[in-house]
Amino acid sequence: MISSKKEKNEMIRVFIGFDSKEVVAFNVLSHSINRKSSIPVAISPVALNQLSNVFTRERNSLQSTEFSFSRFLVPYLCNYEGWALFMDCDMLVLDDLADLWKLRDENYSLMVVKHNYTPRSEKKFLGHTQTTYEKKNWSSLMLFNNSKCTSLTPEYVNAATGLELHQFKWLADDNQIGELSNQWNFLVDEDIKREGEPSILHYTNGGPYFEDFRNCGFSEEWFEELKFSLSCNNKFINLP
């Protein structure tokens, strides 16, 4: 674990995948992070319009989000220094991210929740195909030890296959991947076993902001956070 005084005072760097079809998800997740964090947080979107000079690969028909591959540019964007957290936008933070940040371990290049499951449906939000592969959803939340992820150059990210990226073929071996409890990436309506109460909800099939998933598990928590994000003077804003 990281315990030096310098690291304790370090700001949490969070990169959230941004998709133009899920703008509200990005904003609500950002709000939940800021509202719950006990230490400073810097949030950056992984947005294609901001990466046009770096990310040049064409969109694959199997991509369900705009950030399916660009997420792996996070170490490059950090100049391969320090640590950074990547999160899918379809998440909601229920607890203090400082508690997750404390789990960084210099023995690893990367830390993730190591899901082991088969999706229950063949389709997810907006009719996208629900693909199944080894290590599925491991890359939806990643704690990058950036100095140990130097193989993730823009050239590699632009050229590597989806499986090479999402199955971490850019690491020497799987021993470089540390494991986090699934409380930090709880798959709503997919995870059966809970390792403690969820600290981060992941609406992997589709968030309640999509009509088809409006009543999905933990939808009330998401709508409550939406209200917080649209409040002024402690009152919910009634939009015209």
Read off the pLDDT of residues 181-214 as tens digits, 9 standing for 90 and up.
999 999 999 987 777 799 999 999 999 999 999 9
Q: What value does the mean pLDDT take over residues 159-169?
A: 96
C-beta of residue 80 within 8 angstroms of C-beta of residue 149: yes
State residue 128's pLDDT score.
55
Is residue 173 assigned to a domain? yes
Q: What is the DSSP-derived secondary structure letter of residue 14? A: E
Q: In whole angstroms, what is the distance from residue 72 CA to residue 69 CA? A: 6
CA 142 to chain centre: 7
The dihedral of CA 183, 63, 144, 32: what is its sign? negative
Is residue 81 assigned to a domain? yes
State residue 6's pLDDT score.
47
Q: Does residue 236 register a pLDDT over 90? A: no
Report how many domains make up the chain.
1
Q: In whole angstroms, what is the distance from residue 154 CA to residue 76 CA? A: 7
Name which of 117, 121, 102, 234 is nearest 180 in CA terms: 102
The CATH number of the domain holding residue 122 is 3.90.550.10
Domain extent at residue 113: 5-235
C-beta of residue 77 within 8 angstroms of C-beta of residue 50: no
Q: Does residue 3 register a pLDDT over 70? A: no
Q: Does residue 102 register a pLDDT over 80? A: yes
Is residue 240 assigned to a domain? no
Is residue 69 assigned to a domain? yes
Average pLDDT of the chain?
Answer: 90
Query: What SS3 class is residue 64?
Result: coil
State residue 117's pLDDT score.
76
Q: What value does the mean pLDDT take over residues 28-41?
A: 98
Q: How many helical (H) and strand (E) elements, i.e. helices and strands, does the chain have?
A: 7, 11
Is residue 169 assigned to a domain? yes
Is residue 70 assigned to a domain? yes
State residue 163's pLDDT score.
93
C-beta of residue 179 within 8 angstroms of C-beta of residue 113: yes
Query: What SS3 class is residue 210?
Result: coil
Is residue 115 assigned to a domain? yes
Is residue 193 assigned to a domain? yes
Q: In whole angstroms, what is the distance from residue 187 CA to residue 164 CA? A: 23
